[in-house]
Structure 1
Amino acid sequence: MVALPSWYTTPMAQVVLVGITCFATVGMFSAVSNLGAGGISDVSLSDTSNGVLYGVFAVTGLVSGGISNLLGPRLTLFIGTLGYALYVGSLWCYQTQHTAWFLILAGAILGATAALLWSAQGSIMMSYPLEKDKGKAFAIFWAIFQFGSFIGSIIALAINIKSGGLSAVSTSTYLAFLIIIFVGVASAFLILPPNRVIRSDGTIVKLEAASKPHEEIVGMARLFKDWRLLALAPMFFASNYFYAYQGAVNANIFDGPTRALNATLEGAGAIVGALFIGYCVLDLKWFHRRTRGYIGLATVTVLTIIVWSVGLSWQVTFTRADFTDENRINYHDANYAGKGALYFFYYFSDACYQALAYWIMSALTNDPFKLARYAGLYKALQSAGAAGSFGMDAVKTPFLNEHLASWIMLLVSFPLAWLVIRTVKESNYADEDVVYVDDVKREEAELGHAHDVPAAVESSSIEKASVDKA
């Protein structure tokens, strides 16, 4: 194997790289959607495409963790990124050729590939870092990933302010986004498997680069026997349910420039929220791990109650029928005050909610193969919820009903999450196989085939940490 620089084999370097991959693919997919997405002002087609996408995503997510473990994170991420390139291409095709069938087909394919991407991403983000750094790992990943959507929304805002609206997206704009997406596709090959990643304490994430089919069958079966994951199921299901409601309100109540401004505030809220919860709450060094979990849960609960209460106080003042093209809200209007802040905090609290869900899963184990399966189940249930919410919005459900459904699901998930946090141990290292770089090098040397040691291990200058192995 080729020797690799020691910095490149660190967990945070890999988290940054997977963040860049998602920034350039998922982020650009969100960004081009913020630009009007060709002809997807057709709400019915948009709901159909999203419903198909999330429906396939939900089904594929049940097995995507196992597929990721069999293929390894690099190949899984590569396959996962391809669906985003196809989907953005289908938006371009729809704009020029009005091929609605191709857009729906691309949505179905993206649903399958996205499940693979997010399973591999979840495994890397949750298993590669040390236990004390898992909150920060989420913060770094989420901030980089959301920066893609943030950039797209700023571009949309600039175009809207200049022209007063968004017409068809130009060919050059689509080409620019596709080039960035293909950079993201290529960046997937920079990701290292777990057997080549070395933590700062001198441990290797896992000796095996991939698992075996029979191990995945058994592992997936065990998922549905673990009461902790069943208790987290409502949290997983609720975690994207509110996107359809918030997006529908944004599209129906505000004019083009203001929708773009709200999207910019959403991106900023997601970035700030992720950094806040990751660095200032979940990884506080002064508290035991379970206590940090309780503080994180309390923080997210309080945020959810306050932000959604404010949202409810506004929601009861209007219905779907109250706004038309003639009277939509502009950011210059007096009645816009506070609504931009609400969208900021909707996504601030969303980032905190997502962080808590990932942190709880990562606190249950450090095994990358188990965490890939956890991530797959998480995205499956999350996508099932999203598919249901888009279906709910497609039939013109009253906004108040959508608001209450989304909020109640969030609130119901908190007591069940508390039950799972109660089981969190201070560390899982004592219960799981911990392999040190020095041990591997010594054992391989004793067997007389040191060349079999992963190149990352051979090239590493990391000294063995003074950790008591007992």
Structure 2
Amino acid sequence: MVSNGDEESGTQVQLPETTTKNSPSPFFRYNSPLVQVILIGVICFCCPGMFNALSGMGGGGQVDHTASNNSLTALYTTFAIFGILGGGIYNILGPHLTLLAGCSSYVLYTSSFLYYNHHHHQAFVILAGALLGVGAGLLWAAQGAIMTSYPPTNRKGTYISIFWSIFNMGGVIGGLIPFILNYHRSEAASVNDGTYIGFMCFMSLGTLLSLAILPACKVVRDDGSRCTNMFYTDVSTECVEVLKLFSNWKVLLMVPAAWSSNCFYPYQFNDVNGALFNLRTRGLNSVFYWGAQMLGSVGIGYIMDFSFKRRRVRGMVGVIVVGVLGTVIWGGGLVNQLRYSSNDLPEKLDFEQSGSHFAGPFVLYFSFGLLDAMFQSLVYWVIGALADDSQILSRYSGFFKGIQSAGAAVAWQVDEHKVSFMSQLIVNWVLTTISYPLLFVLVMLAVKDQ
């Protein structure tokens, strides 16, 4: 191994090592990209995966959505800041401290709802939400760096789909927890303590697993290349590099996609799942919503890696496919929304008792999950195609999550202020539609063929 000092940047450069012909299979080699991506998938299965299941029930499992909406506004406000800063923090602290701090905040957030079940004081829930925003910014910056930079260049779509499938299995399992534990509870009740405790157990496991992630300089691909040539960075370097993102045309073209990619959660979770279905059915719907995400990520992963020989063509085709599917699904959402409003809610649907009336809204909610995974996996593939170095991609991913969280913070307050369901649907549809041509242009101009 040979090292060089880079006096101008203040970083130390490590030249890549080569592996021998008798290297272990990448499926069993701990420092392979595949094992590390699977590991970060399991960590996200335990932490944000369970968080998604909790949020997907509507109101964090509470009858009154006020505490949940306010906590999520606080969460995504701090997330917006620390998402943008997260890439730089990850480059300074490395994966262990970054992920450990991020994962532990999920446990605290869920414990605040356990407290709220007994005392109904919002302050702890809102504070925990703000702290989770800090932690989530760190976790997702680290996750973005790992998922987009560790895989080989020609298999990034496949590795993203592997991660997304494992991660969203957390939402599937997490959806089963409230469904089973609240099967016989009345619609007027919030979820029981055991639901929150079950979520906390998974999140605690994910926090411990975060210590098993390897830094990028120790991960070796099959061809012997490493995921980054840099040992470390410093605060001043990261501050400058993060500021440069705001004038980077490639990053700016992703802003509408980033802003819109979590904006629709309040509408889907509260105004579709929460408004149309009873308590136990919302848990069941969450299972299928996150299960649909697994299918969506596998489908788009195949398109992005195997549909055409040229990478740029695959990217453009992926944008077109997601754009067409998104138009169809949001059109179905419009048809469904014409049936009810926030001032004229229908009788709650139950999967056992509602018969054919249940099928249409259920399929729509399933389709929302499918589209979410395809849309976000597409954006991550585009980010991964813009560079190949862990430190650069951690900044890109952090910026994406920061803008995404700013959009979500606004969206949760929009829902809390009782903006009409129809208005929320139209805004979400328009925002996602705007992002497709911009992503198409970004792929066409910035993605290079292999």
**Equivalent residue in structure 1 for 2:349, among 305, 329, 342:** 329
Task: Find the residue that maps to 2:173 and give its secondary structure.
Answer: helix
Alignment of 1:73-112 (within 5 A): 73-112=95-134
Counterpart for residue 438 of structure 2 = 416
**TM-score (norm. length: structure 2):** 0.89
Counterpart for residue 314 of structure 2 = 292
Aligned residues: 421
Task: Find the residue that maps to 2:30 and give its secondary structure.
Answer: helix
Contact kept? 1:289, 1:425, Cα under 8 Å: yes
Matched, 1:212 2:246: no
**Equivalent residue in structure 1 for 2:258, among 218, 236, 250:** 236
Matched, 1:391 2:413: yes
Alignment of 1:239-258 (within 5 A): 239-249=261-271, 250-258=273-281
Alpha-carbon distance in structure 1 between the residues aligned to 2:36 and 2:98: 15
Counterpart for residue 35 of structure 2 = 13
Matching residue's letter, 1:345: S
Kindly state the Cα deviation for residue 241 of structure 1 after the two structures are TM-superposed: 0.7
* Structure 1 residues 368 and 46: CA distance shift in structure 2, 3 A: same
Task: Find the residue that maps to 1:9 and give its secondary structure.
Answer: coil
Alpha-carbon distance in structure 2 between the residues aligned to 1:265 and 1:369: 35
5+ residue gaps in structure 1?
428-470
Matched, 1:29 2:51: yes
Counterpart for residue 402 of structure 2 = 380
Residues 11-68 of structure 1, C-alpha deviation per residue, up to 9 Å, x if partnerless?
Answer: 0110000111111111222334556878732212211111111111112222111011
Kindly state the Cα deviation for residue 226 of structure 1 after the two structures are TM-superposed: 1.1
* Structure 1 residues 177 and 337: CA distance shift in structure 2, 3 A: closer
* Structure 1 residues 274 and 152: CA distance shift in structure 2, 3 A: same
**Equivalent residue in structure 1 for 2:212, among 172, 190, 213:** 190
Alpha-carbon distance in structure 2 between the residues aligned to 1:39 and 1:144: 23
* Structure 1 residues 52 and 9: CA distance shift in structure 2, 3 A: same
Alpha-carbon distance in structure 2 between the residues aligned to 1:291 and 1:122: 23
* Structure 1 residues 169 and 403: CA distance shift in structure 2, 3 A: closer
Contact kept? 2:60, 2:68, Cα under 8 Å: no
* Structure 1 residues 176 and 381: CA distance shift in structure 2, 3 A: same
Residues 225-280 of structure 1, C-alpha deviation per residue, up to 9 Å, x if partnerless?
Answer: 211111111111011111111112221222223322322221111111111111x2
Residues 366-422 of structure 1, C-alpha deviation per residue, up to 9 Å, x if partnerless?
Answer: 011111111111111111111111111111111111000000001111111111001
Contact kept? 1:36, 1:168, Cα under 8 Å: no
Alpha-carbon distance in structure 2 between the residues aligned to 1:63 and 1:414: 26
Residues 95-114 of structure 1, C-alpha deviation per residue, up to 9 Å, x if partnerless?
Answer: 23333211111110000111
Contact kept? 1:36, 1:167, Cα under 8 Å: no
Residues 171-201 of structure 1, C-alpha deviation per residue, up to 9 Å, x if partnerless?
Answer: 4444333232111111011100111000111
Residues 139-160 of structure 1, C-alpha deviation per residue, up to 9 Å, x if partnerless?
Answer: 1111111111111212323344
Matching residue's letter, 1:265: F
Matched, 1:273 2:306: no
Identity of aligned residues (%): 37
Residues 208-230 of structure 1, C-alpha deviation per residue, up to 9 Å, x if partnerless?
Answer: 34322232122112211211111
Residues 410-447 of structure 1, C-alpha deviation per residue, up to 9 Å, x if partnerless?
Answer: 111111111100121024xxxxxxxxxxxxxxxxxxxx
Alpha-carbon distance in structure 1 between the residues aligned to 2:58 and 2:418: 21
Matching residue's letter, 2:64: D
Counterpart for residue 152 of structure 2 = 130
**TM-score (norm. length: structure 1):** 0.85
Residues 327-377 of structure 1, C-alpha deviation per residue, up to 9 Å, x if partnerless?
Answer: 222333232222211111111011000011101111000011111111111
Matched, 1:178 2:216: no
Counterpart for residue 11 of structure 2 = none
Matching residue's letter, 1:361: I
Matching residue's letter, 2:111: G
Alpha-carbon distance in structure 2 between the residues aligned to 1:378 and 1:71: 20
Contact kept? 1:35, 1:152, Cα under 8 Å: no
Contact kept? 2:63, 2:190, Cα under 8 Å: no
Task: Find the residue that maps to 2:162 and give its secondary structure.
Answer: helix
Q: Which moved more, 1:314-323 or 1:194-203?
A: 314-323
Alignment of 1:40-59 (within 5 A): 40-59=62-81
Q: Name which one, 1 or 2, has greater alpha-carbon Rg.
A: 1
Counterpart for residue 282 of structure 1 = 304
